[in-house]
Amino acid sequence: MSKPNVLVAMSGGVDSSVTAALLKEQGYGVIGAMMRFWPDGKRTDTFDTCCSPDAAFEARRVADQVGVPFYLLDYREEFEHNIMRPFIEEYRAGRTPNPCVNCNTKVKFDALVKKAKMLGCEYVATGHYVKRVDTEQGVEFHRGDDPRKDQTYFLWGTPKDALKHILFPVGEMEKPHVRQLAEDYGLLTAKKPESQNICFVPGTVRDYLAEHIPEVKGYMVDIHSGEVVGEHMGTQFYTIGQKKGLGLYRSNEVRWVVHTDPASQIVWVGQYADCHWENLTASGANYLLERSELPHTLEVQVRYRSAGVPATITRVDDFSFDIQFASPQFAIAPGQSVVLYSGSRLLGGGIIEGREYTLPVVKYPKAKKVKAKQEEVGSSVAKV
């Protein structure tokens, strides 16, 4: 009995190439597809190796090697609207976005799953290092077996009704084994290096932001004393917990970024302890199980390259939740994701919101003429 059709999201990389080959070997009706994000009339080298015209050419060649049809699907408008514009606007608002989460949530595992159904495919398959576990209660996503490659952090926003339509053939493998399989299949992407950057950002994020957000001079201000301790050229260039490149007046001083305020163009700095959060609020919540089934005590992850930590959910509704950490956590960045786990199982997540600060009156340098009235900054309560 033949297996159902699968739309394989091919990026031109080794993981998705092996995914297509494995599913074809297992008897699925495989259709290869790549989502076109790069725009017309602009530099195509602004898109990294996983989303470029060259990558599309390689993905098509791999599909030929595997012996499956290949389609280039136009998602330029969706990508511009859901990923690129919000990326700039979040930095402009003093937050630190995660575009990969948005891409998986709003494009790959929402729009692409719907497209797969239109093309007569029961599943979408990707090269993510995530394990799909089928239970009597339904489909669960678990951490991939290779802890260095686990990508569940980026998938917390997957629509719950899409879980049963997604496959991860390499989720139970380690990266070296995947590359060996590519060699065994004779795939031209076997030795292709991994993409490390944000796909639409050439070079550094700082350079990209400098191209899209005007530089505005502002001050570094101590969050305890109100003393101006340095200057900067835009709050968008700083994130919570940052220590290097602060441009302090006295080079022997050590400060960390605690809070940024684009409205006043002030970067508030303090001590290491000031960057620790005991709790947080998350918005835009998505749960991969019934909300009533969420455990009171669980594990949370607040950035991709950090370990999960014990925490307690102190409040939860359909759209948001509050988390209390078992111990204070360093450099929580509004705009990033807080992701919920029970053991290896991915439960959902949300977007980290800012917290309130009691700010001192700013002691502007007497030699500087400051247009903003001091009382507008004053002793106040501010929130990111």
Q: Mean pLDDT throughout 101-111?
A: 91
C-alpha to C-alpha distance for 359 and 175, rounded to whole angstroms: 48
Encode pLDDT of 316-369 as tens digits. 999 999 999 999 999 999 999 999 999 999 999 999 999 999 999 999 987 554
Q: How many other C-beta atoms are found inside a 10 Å radius of the C-beta of residue 314? A: 12
Mean pLDDT of the region 98-114: 92
Q: What is the mean pLDDT of the chain?
A: 91
Rounded Cα gap, residues 285 and 300, in angstroms: 14
CA distance 191 to 247: 41
Count Cα neighbours of 165 within 13 Å in the Cβ-side half-sphere.
22
Q: Which two tokens stand for residue 290?
A: 């019934």
Among 50, 100, 199, 275, the active-site one is 199
Confidence of residue 374 (pLDDT cuts 50, 70, 90): very low
Cα separation, 204 vs 95, in Å, equals: 17
Q: Name which of 109, 141, 138, 139 is nearest 124 in CA terms.
A: 109
Q: What is the pTM of this model?
A: 0.90
* Domains and their CATH numbers in the chain: 5-185 (3.40.50.620), 214-270+357-383 (2.30.30.280), 274-353 (2.40.30.10)
- Could you report the per-residue pLDDT of 39-86, keeping only the tens digit for each? 765 544 555 556 677 888 999 999 999 999 999 999 999 999 999 999
* Percentage of residues in the chain having pLDDT higher than 70: 92
Q: What interhelical angle do 14-25 and 53-66 show, nearest 10?
A: 20
Distance separating alpha carbons of residues 337 and 340, to the nearest angstrom: 10
Amino acid at residue number 298: L
Pick the catalytic residue from 51, 100, 103, 275: 103
For residue 117, pLDDT over 80 is answered with: yes
Catalytic annotation present for 199: yes
Average pLDDT estimate for 161-178: 96
Looking at the predicted structure, is the pLDDT value of residue 373 above 50?
Answer: no
264-314 residue pLDDT tens: 999 999 999 999 999 999 999 999 999 999 999 999 999 998 899 999 999
Q: Degrees (nearest 5) of the Cα angle 148, 62, 42?
A: 85
